[in-house]
Chain A
Amino acid sequence: MGVASRFILRRRGGNGWHWTDIVTWVWLVGGLIIMFGPAVWLAFSSFKTPAALAEFPPSILPYVTSQATVQGYDKPLQLFDAKMPDGSTKVLAEVRRIGTMSQMVDPKTPGEIVRVNINDRTPVRSVSFATENYTTPFTQFDFLRYLWNSVFVTVTATLITLIVNSMAAFALSKYEFRGRSLAMLIILATLMVPLSVIMVPLYSIISSLGLFNNLWGVILPTVATPTGVFILRQYMLTIPDELIDAARMDKASEWQIYWRIVLPLTAPALAVLAIFSVVWRWNDFLWPLIVLSRRELYTLQVGLSIYSGELNVQWHFILAMTVVTMIPVVLVFIFLQRFITTGIAGTGLK
């Protein structure tokens, strides 16, 4: 323990606390709370019932008040810890409330009514996870549909991106031809063309191709990513040309060279691009919002934002679906985070 804490709390000034050590630990621990806290809070909240969500001050864990069915009463009655006149406490069920007095019964002996002042009773609460927040949107709303649409868009767009970008990167790294630097320049120049600048004309192109209200209208404009071409080309430049020349000697076709030699050797860069692409496409919002106007076509992001913008927001469902939307990204974060961080640090691209 002593060794571990000394290792974790390594300090600059040896034994004393230099002011930079204090700043460092305040910043790190504060960062830990601020960066993870909100998402964790949302996840906890997503298991609360609407009644518990409306409570202020809120509790961290999802509590529900306990109820019991008592013989002789149709509806389940709410349970309370009641303080009896003799000082003991008893679990009683409330039948009705009149003014400041509550009429209660002992669930075991339902015949006898006990009168208790409302200040002498506290509701019995237990931790309970409201899983219907998750099941209801999937079974009664369209969220299963949205989930499927999101998965379809993400997987399809990523596969096309990998193939189309790697083909272009192959041409731009392993062939000498006229216009190569022009093609490269155009790609680099549009690295910074954001959707917000071209959304009006892009919309008209999508509509005239009949892709409005079509998931392919969401997929196609995103797949020819300049970033992807750029990353893959830089990587392919490091593959020795001798390999390709040797394959040509063996009568391999150019397509085979691309498929059997270059692509397998580019696997690390392809993996990085695949991770990026999955996160990008899963998180896309503005363009799907423009292209998709029929409810059954919404992706999770669009569906969530539309539902959360409605007047009577059903927060318990929204919170649960936000958690569902977060899950793939959190999985990527846990298992693949270091590929992304090294990818960004290496190329400066997001």
Chain B
Amino acid sequence: MNTDMSTATLTSRLGGLLMAPVNLLMRVLDIPLRAVQKAAGIGGMAAVFLAPNMLIFGIFVLLPLVINFVYSMTGGTAFFLSEREFVGAAQYERLFQCANYLDPMSCQEDAFWTAVGNTFWFVVLQVSLMILTALITALILNRDLAARSFWRAVFFFPVLLSPVVVGLIWKWILQRQGLLNFGLYQFGVEPYTWLTDRNWTFVATIGVSLWAHMGFYALILLAGLQAIPKDLYEAAEMDGTKPARVFWRITLPLLMPNLLVVVVLALIRAVQIFDEVYVLTGGGPGTSTLYLTQYIYETGFASALRNPGLAAAASILMGLVLVVLTLVQLGIGQRGEKKGKR
């Protein structure tokens, strides 16, 4: 109620400034649209309202989605489809051409398989740590805390920051004269150049993305925790149930739908990691933090030997993984709905 009211005052204040010219525009637009309505009927106006969104959506989302398949079957460096030659499945064959399937370095596109391997380990480690920390944060925020909304905001703060800003903040902290070295120096540890060490940069990308996104998932889990009926806990308390048992028998099962949503969302986002890593490490040193999206970006646009067809093929493979994950999520959502109906 309170939220709705202050939103309304906010919009009305903003509105006062913007409304005058917009109002005039809408009045003018009404004249031709009335004529359209006369011709198409009230039902036909649905198409008129839907048209701009669907047009933009069709051109910039659906069309690329479809021609991506065509792209992946063409070769050359030209970007316009008409200037590209058809090569069939050659790009896919190139991606999968390996002397030894157990050794990514023996593949023709070793960069692709390095990126796949890096992304895999990144996803596994980042998502499991993400779930763990987000769950702990949500459980703590769900306690009877004073100023809970303040603490919630604390963990949410980095979520709004741009990935570039996140990357730069941590680049500044991890550099040689940075805060981390300063902190360790107090304990007698010599300053170290973290961002030139292959293993530490990998750890850093995981840590930084945890820092930036954890608050978002904690928020979803907190909403789930708050939806659990209080009387369940009261009943458990009356029975003298141990807290650990309450957690495993009440909290976790009832939180499961939210937890699964968070797992899938975190997986989908982690597979696509790019922005903050690109700014923080640029994929290096060497290829130690080269992830899939950066491989696609560099193969398609940035490298001297650019190959849009190969990038398209790689992006379709990545898309397939995402489709599977999305279907899993939809499946979970539907199961949850059925449960709700019962």
Contacts and interface: CB of A to CB of B under 8 A. Distances in A.
Interface in B146-196: 146-147, 149, 151-165, 167-173, 176-177, 179, 181-182, 185, 191
Contacts of A315: 172
Nearest to A319: B172
Interface stretch (A70-78, A105-113, A337-345): A337-345
Which of A309, A322, A339 has most chain B Cβ within 10 Å? A322
Interface in B320-341: 322, 326
B108 interface: no
Contact of B65 (A7, A9, A193): A193
Task: In the A-B complex, list the 7 residue pairs whose CB atoms are closest, starting with the nearest.
Answer: A283-B162, A168-B53, A175-B46, A345-B223, A171-B49, A221-B60, A201-B64
A311 interface: no
Interface in A191-247: 192-194, 196-205, 207-208, 220-221, 223-224, 226, 229
A55 to B, nearest CB: 7
Contacts of B158: 35, 39
Interface stretch (B122-130, B198-206, B273-281): B273-281
Contact of A172 (B50, B182, B211): B50
Contact of B45 (A175, A176, A194): A175
B268 A168 contact: no
A118 B161 CA distance: 46
A190 B61 contact: yes
Interface in B128-156: 136-137, 140, 143-147, 149, 151-156
B57 interface: yes
A31 B57 CA distance: 40
A58 B14 CA distance: 44
B52 interface: yes
A167 B11 contact: no
Given A197-B318, A268-B7, A326-B165, A56 B177 contact: yes
A226 B65 CA distance: 15
A339 B3 contact: yes
B121 interface: no
Interface in B42-77: 42-43, 45-50, 52-54, 56-57, 59-65, 67-68, 71
Interface stretch (A83-91, A94-102, A133-141, A300-308): A300-308
A192 B326 contact: yes
Nearest to A229: B53
B154 A35 contact: yes
A267 interface: yes
Interface residues of A, number: 106
Given A308-B171, A326-B165, A56 B30 contact: no
A261 interface: no
21 contacts: A10-B146, A20-B143, A23-B140, A28-B145, A28-B154, A35-B157, A171-B46, A171-B47, A171-B50, A194-B322, A196-B297, A198-B64, A201-B65, A254-B48, A255-B26, A267-B12, A268-B7, A285-B164, A286-B297, A319-B168, A325-B165
B88 interface: no
Interface in B1-24: 3-4, 7-8, 10-12
B272 interface: yes
Contacts of B48: 254
Interface in A19-46: 20, 23-24, 27-28, 31-32, 34-36, 38-39, 41-42, 45
A256 B30 contact: yes
Contact of B155 (A9, A31, A183): A31
A270 interface: yes
Contact of B60 (A12, A38, A186, A205): A205
A208 B305 CA distance: 22
B54 A168 contact: yes
B137 A27 contact: yes
Given A196-B318, A315-B172, A322-B169, A207 B79 contact: yes
Interface residues of B, number: 109
A187 B57 contact: yes
Which of B71, B157, B170 has most chain A Cβ within 10 Å? B157
A342 to B, nearest CB: 6
Given A285-B164, A322-B169, A192 B322 contact: yes
Contact of A283 (B163, B182, B243): B163
Contacts of A344: 216, 219-220
A223 B164 CA distance: 21
A1 to B, nearest CB: 14
A17 interface: no
A57 B185 contact: yes
Interface string A312-341: 000100110010011001001100011111
A10 B37 contact: no
A31 B165 contact: no
A165 interface: yes
A249 interface: no
B293 A196 contact: yes
Which of B65, B169, B318 has most chain A Cβ within 10 Å? B169
Contacts of B319: 193, 197
Contact of A199 (B144, B170, B315): B315
B263 interface: no
Contacts of A68: none
B38 to A, nearest CB: 9
Contact of A348 (B37, B179, B220): B220
B68 A200 contact: yes
Contacts of B153: 333, 337, 341
A220 to B, nearest CB: 6
B296 interface: yes
A63 interface: no
Contact of A24 (B143, B160, B326): B143
A124 interface: no
B151 A28 contact: yes
B193 to A, nearest CB: 12
Nearest to A175: B46
Nearest to A26: B140
Contact of B79 (A32, A54, A203): A203
Which of A7, A23, A180, A196 has most chain B Cβ within 10 Å? A196
